[in-house]
């Protein structure tokens, strides 16, 4: 499945560079998002390297997901596509 990276997970004073919020096209509710917990997510860099992460929880009520990656993603990854396996 294809998903889009929306933003970093952040608080009022902090930003978590290895945690991203993603949105899958046809997932529109929190219940649908909970079915995808534990799935693996991969983002490919321009040079072809893959950074992998796992879906940890639902984010909000409209089907967004919180993904924790193995290392931080750059700002260029925002609004790019990732693959949910």
Q: What is the pLDDT along the chain (85 residues), one digit of tens a residue?
A: 999 999 999 999 999 999 999 999 999 999 999 999 999 999 999 899 999 999 999 999 999 999 999 999 999 999 999 999 9
Three-state DSSP at 61 gives coil
Q: Considering all CA atoms of the chain, what is the largest pairwise distance in Å, rounded to the nearest integer?
A: 36
CATH code at position 59: 2.40.10.190
Supply the range of the domain harboring residue 63. Answer: 2-84
Dist. CA 63–CA 59, nearest whole Å = 7
Q: What confidence score (pLDDT) does residue 17 get?
A: 94
CB-based contact 3:21 (threshold 8 Å): no
DSSP secondary structure code for residue 27 in this structure: -
Q: How many domains does the structure of the chain reveal?
A: 1
């Amino acid at each position: 499945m294809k998903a889009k990276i929306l933003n970093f997970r952040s608080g009022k004073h902090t930003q978590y560079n290895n945690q991203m919020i993603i949105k899958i096209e046809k997932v529109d509710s929190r219940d649908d998002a909970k079915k995808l917990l534990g799935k693996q997510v991969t983002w490919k860099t321009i040079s072809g390297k893959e950074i992998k992460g796992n879906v940890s929880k639902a984010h909000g009520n409209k089907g967004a997901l919180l993904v924790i990656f193995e290392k931080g993603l750059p700002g260029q990854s925002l609004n790019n596509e990732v693959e949910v396996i």
